[in-house]
Structure 1
Amino acid sequence: MTTKKENAKRLGIYLLIVFAFMLFYILCAKLMHHSNTVYYIIYMIFSFSPAIASLITRAVTKEGFRDMKLHLHLTGNIRYYLLAFGLPLIFFSARILLPIIVSGHSNWLGVFTVQDAVASVFMLAALSVVQSIGLLGEELGWRGYMNQKMEPLFGTVGTCLFGGVVWSLWHLPMDLAGWLDGEDTFSDTLMTCGGRMLLLTCFGTFLMWLTKKTDSVFPAVVAHFMYNESQGAVMSLLAQGNIPENTSLPLWTDVMRYLPLLVIAVIFMILLLKNKKKEIKTL
């Protein structure tokens, strides 16, 4: 059985490597700004850095490469794959549309049709089969490795919170790009980083639950893809609506944007804790 000391050592090495890649990304920011080719190469290396870090850590610590959760486990788990696809779409739709409806601007959605919505869903489904595999570079590291090392050390709640913060910090080079390039103000960048930290911490709870229920990283890969793409799909539909130019929603509606993900976090935190109790009873 792996001791807490061994888990802490492996987690420390993994995080050290991941954040070394982050520093590399920051140092290459100017080169990336002046060359699309350089940008693409470094961005791809950075995107796969969590997976690379997990593989290096496994090799250095002689942990081996078993239990990497690289199996689909479709039998008995189709419902989790459907949930991985559908839940982010439903909740991000609510996150975008709820403030519009509550603030009395439901007329903006007047040109929405069922055909448009169905076509968008089928397009996302088709893309998820092909494009989501690229996110394996993240999920193999975050859910497939980091969370597994954190849970014996910090417990379920601590892993969701601390893991969400780490995942958010890893995105900082991308969040700071606009400010470093002089396109965004520092205050706007801080708001972006704060919002991202809250979103990733909440959503990471769902991804962790999916991985534990299926013992596979692939449902988390699908959900991660939908996290990235469903917002754009909803916004493209919204762009077809009757939205007047130079209009904005009241500031108080910003709170509404975070309610759906907070609901996700609470529900799946409860489910994770229940699952933990069952595991303890079976020991």
Structure 2
Amino acid sequence: MIIIKEQLNVITKRRLILFVLFSILIGWALFLTIPMKGLTYGDSYSVTILAVAMFAPTLANLLTRVITREGFKDLYLKPNFKGNFKKYLLIYFGPSILIFLGGVIYFVIFPGSFDGEFTQLNAIMAQNGSIGTTAKE
């Protein structure tokens, strides 16, 4: 029994090391293409590269599973709503609620910072020529 647990720990450790290595290598390889190609951050091509790089951990997970022959049985991608629906609602709406509450608390503490007329935003839009424009009919 102890030998099996030790073997599982070694296999799990190997999988974890492979996953971290693949994540870092794939992510950095993609991130480094931007300066190597002479692109600047904000260009459409560099934004696309950054968007693709966000999937590096996913690709690393799949590569690790293929290399270690773990398979794809226990990916836990299928939601389990039965008995967990409240948790899923909390996970989905919780961050938005916390952000809203953080804003409320901030403006309760610093009421002078609240600008209900959006004067700063209107000034920026006027400076950029965006204010008062409408869609062409």
The normalised TM-score by structure 2 is 0.68
Aligned counterparts of 1:55 and 1:95: Cα–Cα separation in 2: 37
Aligned counterparts of 1:13 and 1:37: Cα–Cα separation in 2: 29
* 2:89 maps to amino acid: L
Computing the radius of gyration over CA atoms, which structure comes out larger, 1 or 2? 2
Does 2:29 correspond to 1:24?
yes
Does 2:44 correspond to 1:39?
no
Q: Could you give the per-residue CA deviations for residues 211-249 of structure 1, whole angstroms, max 9, x where no partner exists?
A: xxxxxxxxxxxxxxxxxxxxxxxxxxxxxx23554xxxx
Higher relative contact order (CA 8 A, sep 6+): 1
| 4+ residue segments displaced more than 4 Å | none
Unmatched tracts of structure 1, length 5 or more: 110-240, 246-283
Aligned counterparts of 1:242 and 1:38: Cα–Cα separation in 2: 36
* 2:29 maps to amino acid: F
Q: Could you give the per-residue CA deviations for residues 108-146 of structure 1, whole angstroms, max 9, x where no partner exists?
A: 37xxxxxxxxxxxxxxxxxxxxxxxxxxxxxxxxxxxxx
Aligned counterparts of 2:54 and 2:27: Cα–Cα separation in 1: 10
The answer as to whether partners of 1:13 and 1:57 remain within 8 angstroms in 2 is yes
Aligned counterparts of 2:108 and 2:29: Cα–Cα separation in 1: 44
Unmatched tracts of structure 2, length 5 or more: 121-137
Does 2:117 correspond to 1:242?
yes
Aligned counterparts of 1:102 and 1:55: Cα–Cα separation in 2: 47
Aligned counterparts of 1:39 and 1:103: Cα–Cα separation in 2: 36
The answer as to whether partners of 2:19 and 2:60 remain within 8 angstroms in 1 is yes
Q: Percent identity?
A: 23
The answer as to whether partners of 2:27 and 2:54 remain within 8 angstroms in 1 is no
* 1:23 maps to amino acid: W
The normalised TM-score by structure 1 is 0.36
1:98 corresponds to: 105
The answer as to whether partners of 1:33 and 1:39 remain within 8 angstroms in 2 is no
